[in-house]
Amino acid sequence: MAEHIVGHTELVKQECIRLGVPFVDVAGDFDRELAEAETRLVSG
């Protein structure tokens, strides 16, 4: 499953870049990245 998640992530990331949609990679500091995602989701 892990390789499919990485592949799915790349698909989503490329579409986000192409369309200007916010994308957050949680591969680093999960809590910090999730907080960043919440800010972008709620505050724009």
Partner 1 sequence: MIHLIGGPPRVGKTLLAERAARGIGASWISTDVIRSVIEVGQPGLTHIVWGETEGIQAHAASFFPYLDRLLWGVNSLRGPYVIEGVDFLPEQAVRLAERYPVRSVFLGHSAMTGPSSATTSGGSRGSPEPRLNNSA
Q: Is 41 in the site for partner 1 (CB under 8 A)?
A: yes
Q: By CB under 8 A, tell whether 32 contacts partner 1.
A: no
> Smallest distance, Å, CB 3 to partner 1?
7
Query: Per CB under 8 A, does 6 bind partner 1?
Result: yes
Q: Which has the closest alpha carbon to 12: 3, 2, 22?
A: 22
Instruction: State how far the alpha carbon of 11 is from the alpha carbons of 6, 14, 16, 17, 32, in Å.
Output: 9, 5, 9, 10, 23
Residues that bind partner 1 (CB under 8 A): 1-13, 15-16, 18-19, 21-27, 30, 34, 37-38, 40-42, 44
